[in-house]
């Protein structure tokens, strides 16, 4: 199924715009998983099972797997999601960006090896570095626009002569030039609601992936009011650590489910 | 050894500013390696052995390994370089870019798992996304500035009110703010020699990684004249496919060595 359709169905089915981010840090795993060779898989699998009813997407962050030599566990997780939660889109958070011949390889990594429904990419190298992902017609390409970290303004706030900051140039390029096939989405951080609104004003109903709530401190009501599209949806609002590590005790599964449900409900209350 | 020192020694020892890029594409491997499960390792190992005398660095492009589920072969290659060519810096071409907590994982991937001497990164998310790499004090951090692809100008040519294009903002930020520990270098494509010169004018003797000669068509004499620093060095001029696939026949090793030597000599002739 095409990513954007799968996402729309997930918004409706789960009545949720929450995306659960998988940033598995073995040092923070519960005691029962410590020392197991498949701890990353088992931790993430449990998180997925208990949070899936409250989520519109799952976003594994590949760095956490690569640093642990755990690509095989990420593959197994993606297979698991496809088998047991087939309606849940997989967003591979990789923020890739390289020339076309290399981007073809990264696209194979994301879409063939991990079977992701969408991948995050960097716009710094321009459109020809995004085309290899877009040639996978059923897949989503989620482009960094305004990021949630403090240093995000170093480049993204540089203004052109007419006063337009770089991140709005990216939004306009994505909406007006790059999104010819409806596969594009943008990353806009929840830490800057007024900038989410400026991006939304430029991109129509395009989906936005919004990190920065939870551990990074973004405000949910302000984020939702700024980011919703004309359908009242249009967002993948990501929470990672606040859900994964909601409890370090024996009740970690229940605590994660509760955190996901509460976040989903807080998002819906602000719609 | 600190990356910049190792690079300086390699420039002197091999009398070369050629970087050999490893973009292993199994479909282009010679017949003798077809079908072998360790073909990527064996192909790259042979290329390294025959080109090392003419190179100042080896630059594996990680996408080519990840798309093939060959991270283990990349690890083995890095171990091989450290053991058999200990003076040759390893530049992991990964173009990573993410928030601090994730960048810490990518830094572990590059510097701990692969034992790279330097890694390429994207500046789009700003300085706090580069700091986790810089905290590895012996390592180099090579920041995208002006890339060699046609779409590079989509963002990199956007000018601020004073007429400065984005890539020169990146060069200035790197030279004046981010490079406090001497670990930074920049990526500037050989396809734009006049822009290499503008970057060089802003960054003093900072090393430049210069892709775009060979298959991408950059001009070697113009590149060298634009990019050399006050020592007459300061460059890692990369060639990948033109060396790796210099011959598809039985003489592939000799052809690769010959291509590397000829490129090294062409670079030196222009100094």
Please, which residues bridge with residue B20 across strands? B58, B239
Is residue B75 predicted with pLDDT exceeding 90?
Answer: yes
Within 224-263 of A, beta carbons closer than 8 Å to B belong to none
Domains, chain B: 3-269 (3.20.20.70)
- Residues B117-170 have pLDDT tens digits of 999 999 999 999 999 999 999 999 999 999 989 999 999 999 999 999 999 999
Predicted pLDDT at A148: 87
Q: What is chain A's mean pLDDT, rounded? A: 96
Q: Give the nearest chain B residue to A174 (CA atoms).
A: B154
- Residues A27-81 have pLDDT tens digits of 999 999 999 999 999 999 999 999 999 999 999 999 999 999 999 999 999 999 9
Q: Give the nearest chain A residue to B125 (CA atoms).
A: A152
A63 touching B, CB under 8 A? yes
Q: Which among B260, B208, B233 is positioned nearest to B51, based on CA atoms?
A: B260
Q: Which residues of A83-96 are buried (b: 16+ CB within 10 A; e: fewer)?
A: eebeebbbbbbbbb
Q: Say yes or no for a CB contact (<8 Å) between A125 and B147.
A: yes
Q: Say yes or no for a CB contact (<8 Å) between B122 and A126.
A: no
At residue A218 the predicted structure's pLDDT band, cuts being 50, 70 and 90, is: confident
In whole angstroms, give the CA distance from residue A110 to residue A96.
10
Structure tokens at B173: 């930020």
Is residue B34 predicted with pLDDT exceeding 80?
Answer: yes
Share of chain B above pLDDT 90, in %: 96
B109 touching A, CB under 8 A? yes
Is residue B213 predicted with pLDDT exceeding 80?
Answer: yes
Considering only the beta carbons, identify the residue of A106, A126, A160 that sits closest to B63. Answer: A106
**Cβ-based contacts of A147 with chain B (< 8 Å):** 99, 124-126
Please, which residues bridge with residue A146 across strands? A188
Is ipTM strictly over 0.90?
Answer: yes
Helix (H) or strand (E) holding B39: helix B39-51
Q: What is chain B's mean pLDDT, rounded? A: 96
Q: Say yes or no for a CB contact (<8 Å) between A123 and B124.
A: yes
Q: Give the nearest chain B residue to A177 (CA atoms).
A: B154
Q: A71 and A41 in contact (C-beta within 8 Å)?
A: no
Q: Residues A118, A124, A127, A131: is their CA dihedral positive or negative? A: negative
Best residue in B61, B68, B102 to probe A by mutation, most A CBs within 10 Å? B102
Structure tokens at A157: 């706030």
């Amino acid at each position: 199924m095409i990513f954007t359709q799968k996402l729309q169905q997930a918004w409706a089915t789960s009545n949720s715009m929450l995306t659960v981010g998988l940033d598995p840090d073995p040092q923070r795993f519960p005691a029962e998983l410590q020392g197991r060779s498949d701890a990353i898989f088992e931790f993430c699998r449990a998180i997925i099972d208990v949070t899936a009813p409250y989520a519109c997407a799952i976003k594994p962050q590949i760095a956490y797997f690569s640093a642990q030599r755990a690509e095989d566990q990420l593959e197994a997780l993606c297979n698991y999601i496809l088998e047991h939660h087939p309606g849940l889109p997989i967003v591979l958070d990789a923020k890739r960006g390289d020339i076309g011949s290399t981007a073809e390889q990264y696209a194979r990594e994301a879409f063939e090896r991990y079977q992701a429904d969408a991948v995050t990419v960097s716009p710094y190298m321009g459109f020809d570095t995004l085309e290899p992902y877009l040639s996978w017609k059923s897949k989503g390409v989620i482009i960094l626009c305004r990021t949630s970290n403090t240093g995000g303004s170093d480049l993204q706030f540089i203004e052109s002569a007419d006063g337009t900051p770089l991140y709005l140039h990216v939004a306009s390029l994505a909406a007006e030039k790059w999104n010819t096939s409806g596969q594009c989405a943008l990353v806009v951080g929840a830490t800057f609601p007024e900038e989410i609104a400026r991006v939304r004003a430029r991109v129509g109903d395009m989906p936005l992936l919004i990190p920065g709530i939870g551990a990074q401190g973004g405000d949910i009501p302000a984020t939702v009011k700024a980011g919703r599209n004309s359908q009242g949806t249009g967002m993948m609002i990501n929470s990672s650590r606040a859900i994964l590590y909601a409890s370090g005790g024996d009740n970690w599964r229940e605590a994660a489910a509760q955190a996901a449900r509460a976040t989903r409900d807080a998002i819906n209350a602000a719609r």
